Amino acid sequence: MQLMRAGQDRVSLLHPRSGDGKTVASSATPYRVWVDDPAQFTTDRIATLHHNFHDHPLMQLPQLAQLAKELMASGQCRFMIRGASETSAFESVLKARSPDRREVDEVFRHIEEPGSWVALYNVETNPSYRAFLADVMSSAQSLLERKQPGIFKVSGYTFISAPPSVTPFHIDRENNFWLQIRGQKAISVWDHTDRDVVAAKDVEEFVLFGSLEHVRLEEAVRNRRHEFHAEPGDGVYFPSTSPHMTRCDTDWVKPGDGVCISMAIVFYTEVTLRHARVHQVNHLLRRLGITPRSPGQSALSDAVKAPFGHLAGKVRELRRGTDTLRPLPPGSY
């Protein structure tokens, strides 16, 4: 993977390889995620990853096409409209059916056509892919538990496209292990604490209500990004609410090799849940004309707010008929 930050040259980050040039994998754990220096990894900031899940049978295009057919029946596929850009409103460019009204089988038969784009949501509803996610998370368990014990609601999203294609600028509630599976893609990620990129009130609106209305890329902050140029076996970790977008160009495409696949394995932790509770209180304080501290800025402030945010969240969940996020038992992910 190559990492390019604003004002810096690209730095080559090479995979550990054996003498025959193949990516090194543990004999005890055939498929895994790893980092160059585990001691430097923290779940509080963006980090580059390595993995060998791109070789996994479930990540091959025929298996993903079969999964897409299953997920389409339950409304778990999304399609990007033609002409979407990095600055497009994220919610306006994703549709539940393909732009040309093709069935999902037909979409995959033409998946190498330029601009094709399909996302498979919540792949864990399929037992085989739920086990796949479990393998990913188990391989990363030692990294995660150093800072953020307790894993909640692990989900998987697979993105399949033919360049040129983009995923517009947006944020997610969850922490993200983003893995490049096939082809080449650039992913840009911004610091989740940079309030010049996304204002605190807009983060709150998204975390609490799912609104991305005001989460848009401004050219003035583009050069504050961390840009990663990823190939199969590369990956990026980024924390909850980190702004990000992706771009898939055509310079690597060859006849018979024109499909780009990436996978996002997303999850909550005790820390992200506590931050969500702080957002609950901050939203109320902001309505009273008070400018509150963002989650993570003050441990004392967070400790005071979190219990009240928990109560507020309970009220909202009862009104919506949803369950509170609860940690999964150790080893269940």
Full DSSP string of 112-150: TSTT-EEEE--GGGSHHHHHHHHHHHHHTHHHHTTT---
Can you give the pLDDT at residue 27? 38
Domain contains 130 = yes
Can you give the pLDDT at residue 1? 55
Query: Within the chain, which residues score under 50 in pLDDT?
Result: 2-29, 323-333
**Token pair for residue 17?**
């390889």
The reported pTM is: 0.86
Domain contains 65 = yes
Domain contains 220 = yes
Shared-domain flag, residues 119 and 251: yes
C-beta of residue 155 within 8 angstroms of C-beta of residue 172: no
Alpha-carbon Rg for the chain, nearest whole angstrom, is 20
Shared-domain flag, residues 300 and 250: no
Can you give the pLDDT at residue 321? 63
Shared-domain flag, residues 217 and 298: no
Domain housing 149: 32-269
Shared-domain flag, residues 194 and 68: yes
Can you give the pLDDT at residue 151? 82
> Which residues neighbour 136 within 8 Å (Cβ) at sequence distance 6 or greater?
31, 33, 51, 53, 177, 179, 265
Closest CA to 219 of 80, 93, 85, 81: 85
Can you give the pLDDT at residue 146? 65
When divided into structural domains, the chain yields a total of 2
Shared-domain flag, residues 277 and 264: no
Shared-domain flag, residues 224 and 240: yes
CATH code where residue 63 lies: 2.60.120.650
Shared-domain flag, residues 88 and 102: yes
